[in-house]
Amino acid sequence: MSDNLKEIRTNIKRRQLINKIFAIIALLTIFVALIILLGLTLQLIIQGAPRLSVEFLTSFPSRKPEQAGILSAWVGTSLVMLVTALAAVPLGVAAGIYLEEYARKNWIADIIEINVTNLAGVPSIVYGLLALGLFVYQFKLGESIQTAGLTLALLILPIVIVTTREAIRAIPNSLREAAYALGATKWQTIWDHVLPSAFGTILTGIIVGLSRAIGETAPVITIGALTFIAFLPDSPFNAEFPFIPFTSNFPWINFEQLFAWLRAPFTLMPIQMFNWVSRPNPEFQLNAAAAGTVLLIMTLMMNGIAIYLRFLFRRGVKW
């Protein structure tokens, strides 16, 4: 009997030991992945750091690596992100509202839903082919900031739609019923009560989507973005007061000048980096590291903000 007991005890000890070993190995696996990444990132920053300076941010790309900078790249990225946000946010939020608040359970709603899930899985470069065939050659929008902005907007649309839906779904029905009880229409309920309450989560989704768009390279290369741009788009504003380009006759504002930047050729941070990475001259690869560092800081900052916001709103609201 006692022999049997001993056997069971050693068996339990052995199994618990294996259990502990697995826990340690698993934790190590996670840390190895994170540490490899951290090491690679640090190496990138160390290589790029000597190049990082005010001149690097305020110079155009150049054939001489030590004089080259990323001015046109970060200006291009900011403008394209502006177009992307202006297109993706209204469209995505509206689609999310429709699917969550209006859609009846029928085949149309099912088809839309299947499409959203499916679009999230389409490789990003395919959006580039879509933009090349449709925006550049059918709609004649050119290889311009507006084409790039719209392409990236389509790319992040599923992210915005899905987060909007999740945010709206999390709003309890009692809030809607209270609004209906006071005589609000469906839209008034959504606009005045549901959306403001869901705002935080939706904002998080938008930031995550934009941080994805900022690093996307492939679709923008496909539409034929030039990689050597040594100029900025024309400013929509005049240098002197009153800045906005007024004209003497109808419609009194020179819209052509105001929106000329939409049609300007451009380069982006990731494209500039790709251009420099693929050159054999190691001096240029230092530039690539510096551009990568700036890009990484931009993306990580946006993701950091998103994570913080999520944390904040999750803490703040208790239904």
Partner 1 sequence: MIKEQKITKPTTLSPKLVRDLREKIIEFVLFLAAFSAVATTVAIMYVLLAESVLFFQEVSPLEFLTSTKWTPLFAEKNYGILPLVSGTLVTSGVALLVAIPMGTITAMYLSEFAPSRLREIIKPCLELLAAIPTVVYGYFALLFVTPFLQKIIPGLPGFNMLGAGLVMGLMIIPFISSISEDAMRSVPVGLREGSYAMGATRLQTAWRVVFPSAISGISSAYILGASRAVGETMIVAIAAGLQPKLTWNPLDEAATITAYIVQVSLGDLPHHSIEYQTIFAAGLTLVLMTLVLNIIGHFLAKRYREIY
Instruction: Find the binding residues for partner 1 in span 241-300 (CB under 8 A).
Output: 270, 273-274, 277-278, 285, 288-289, 292, 295-296, 299-300
Question: Residue 102 interacts with partner 1 (CB under 8 A)?
Answer: yes
Question: Residue 40 interacts with partner 1 (CB under 8 A)?
Answer: yes
Nearer to partner 1, 261 or 298 (CB): 298
Stretch that binds partner 1, among 74-82, 118-126, 174-182, 252-260 (CB under 8 A): 118-126
Q: At a CB cut-off of 8 Å and minimum separation 6, what does 253 contact?
A: 244, 245, 246, 247
Subset of residues 126 to 165 that bind partner 1, contact rule: CB under 8 A: 126-130, 132-134, 137, 154, 157-158, 161
Subset of residues 169 to 198 that bind partner 1, contact rule: CB under 8 A: 185-187
Distance CA 73, CA 273 (A): 9
Cα-flanking dihedrals φ and ψ of residue 198, to 5°? -90, -5
Size of the site for partner 1 (CB under 8 A): 86
Distance CA 80, CA 85 (A): 9
Nearer to partner 1, 79 or 208 (CB): 208
Nearer to partner 1, 2 or 138 (CB): 138
The amino acid that residue 240 corresponds to is E
Nearer to partner 1, 52 or 277 (CB): 277
Distance CA 52, CA 62 (A): 16
Nearer to partner 1, 52 or 112 (CB): 112
Find the DSSP H helices in the chain: 2-48, 54-58, 71-97, 107-120, 124-131, 145-169, 173-181, 186-189, 195-215, 218-222, 255-258, 269-277, 282-316
Distance CA 225, CA 73 (A): 11
Q: Least separation, in Å, of the C-beta of 63 and partner 1?
A: 18
Distance CA 120, CA 108 (A): 19
Question: Residue 94 interacts with partner 1 (CB under 8 A)?
Answer: yes
Which x/- pattern over 197-236 shows residues binding partner 1 (rule: CB under 8 A)? -----------x--xx-xxxxx--xxxx--x---------
Question: Residue 117 interacts with partner 1 (CB under 8 A)?
Answer: yes
Subset of residues 45 to 84 that bind partner 1, contact rule: CB under 8 A: none
Using alpha carbons, select from 181, 213, 203, 189 the residue that is nearest to residue 100.
Answer: 189
Question: Residue 309 interacts with partner 1 (CB under 8 A)?
Answer: no
The amino acid that residue 191 corresponds to is W
Q: Least separation, in Å, of the C-beta of 221 and partner 1?
A: 5
